[in-house]
């Protein structure tokens, strides 16, 4: 099989993190992945950016066995303070800030999950589906069933902050690795 020029260009790029991140030893981070400060990657999570890029915002937690992938024409973008539950799949989609993606939920290509929304456990968000901010989405295929209350919306950020504390505690005990960003060389002064 002949490889198309540039097709796997993202594989030649290395992951970058913009501050300390917490990573389980069994997590896989491959290609052009950009992680915000205090992201946590729990056991067996896979971020495979072989055809495009993956961007994960500050304070987001990707729990055990999550998979993030993309397509040649669409990256996978996850906002800040997002909680992605065990076994969820995010494929070439965008999840905005302060969302909860339930366990084993799937979000497909081109879908957008508006900020402060919840995708219920096991839901399948079909290609190109647009979820308005502050929505509860459930089912197969997923549908918006109601708006979240102010209390529910506030709880989304609180849950992500709890996971930052949990990641710190696990890192202190050696269960998660603490990755600090590589030092940036200072410009030489003549």
- 8 Å CB contact between 29 and 15: yes
Per the structure, the count of domains in the chain is 1
Report yes or no on 190 lying in a domain. Answer: no
What digits encode the pLDDT tens for the residues 138-158? 999 999 999 999 999 999 999
Per-residue pLDDT at 183: 63
Per-residue pLDDT at 4: 42
Q: Look up the domain containing 62 and give its range.
A: 9-179
Report yes or no on 161 lying in a domain. Answer: yes
Query: Does the predicted TM-score (pTM) go above 0.95?
Result: no
Report yes or no on 134 lying in a domain. Answer: yes
Report yes or no on 3 lying in a domain. Answer: no
- Provide the CATH number for the domain around residue 125: 2.160.10.10
């Amino acid at each position: 099989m002949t490889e198309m020029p540039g097709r796997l260009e993202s594989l030649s790029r290395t992951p970058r993190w913009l501050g300390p991140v917490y990573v389980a030893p069994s997590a896989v981070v491959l290609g052009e992945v950009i992680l915000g400060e205090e992201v946590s990657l729990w056991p067996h999570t896979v971020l495979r950016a072989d055809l495009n890029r993956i961007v994960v915002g500050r304070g987001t937690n990707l729990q055990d066995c999550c998979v993030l992938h993309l397509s040649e024409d669409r990256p996978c973008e996850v906002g800040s303070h997002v909680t992605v539950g065990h076994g969820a799949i995010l494929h070439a989609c965008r999840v905005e800030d302060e969302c909860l993606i339930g366990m084993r939920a799937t979000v497909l290509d081109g879908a957008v999950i508006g900020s402060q929304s919840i995708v219920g456990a096991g839901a399948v968000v079909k290609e190109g589906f647009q979820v308005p901010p502050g929505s509860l989405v459930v089912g197969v295929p997923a549908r918006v069933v109601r708006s979240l209350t102010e209390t529910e919306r506030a709880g989304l950020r609180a849950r992500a902050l709890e996971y930052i504390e949990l990641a710190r505690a696990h890192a202190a005990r050696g269960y998660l690795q603490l990755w600090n960003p590589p030092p940036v060389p200072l410009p030489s002064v003549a």
